[in-house]
Amino acid sequence: MGQAPAPPGEAVALLTRHTGEPTTIQLLSDRCGSWAWKIQGPKSAVALKADNPGGDDARDKAAEMAQEDDHLLRLTAASALSPDYRVSAGTWDGGRWLAVNWIDGVPLWRALARGPEGDRASVRPRLAGIARTWTEHLARMHAAGWAHADVQPTNTLVTSGGHAAVID
């Protein structure tokens, strides 16, 4: 087992202005030619995605990362996303990186899993709130002429307050 990849130094240095000096850097994902980390500082936390410039599909992943950044900028300009979501983006060692504010939540599929309370009436307002906020996010995108191409339970987080956030 090798050492976990370090996030791009250029990104961490730039993001320190946003998060403060990082207290933890946690690798979240190492798959499909890209990496994702959670960088936590005293002021805030961000999710940092970067392609693997040494990977087999490095050119494609760099292009995908640039396209995702462009989409975030355009969705923000169309008021379909909060201007606070996207933090920054840039290049590194022949690749690209993208940082967004961390959303503390659980994947939709886990939030909707039946717990010991089952299907009681007391659970239904929370479920309705999740569904309402999820569809509101998607409706803002649709109103701006966009469609999320990968809507699935792992691309939606549910916060402790019961609000859905569409990611990725």
Residue 2 within a domain: no
Question: Are 96 and 15 in a shared domain?
Answer: yes
Which of 44, 73, 101 corresponds to the end of one domain?
101
Q: Taking the model in full, what pTM does it have?
A: 0.86
Residues 6+ apart with CB under 8 A from 10: 90, 91, 92, 97
pLDDT at res. 117: 64
Q: Report yes or no: 7 and 48 within 8 Å, Cβ to Cβ.
A: yes
The CATH number for 36's domain is 3.30.200.20
- Dihedral sign, Cα of residue 135, residue 141, residue 144, residue 147: negative
Which tokens belong to 153? 């339970």
Where in the sequence is the domain holding 136, given as residue range(s)? 106-166
- pLDDT tens digits, 92-132: 887 899 999 999 999 888 888 766 666 678 788 888 899 99
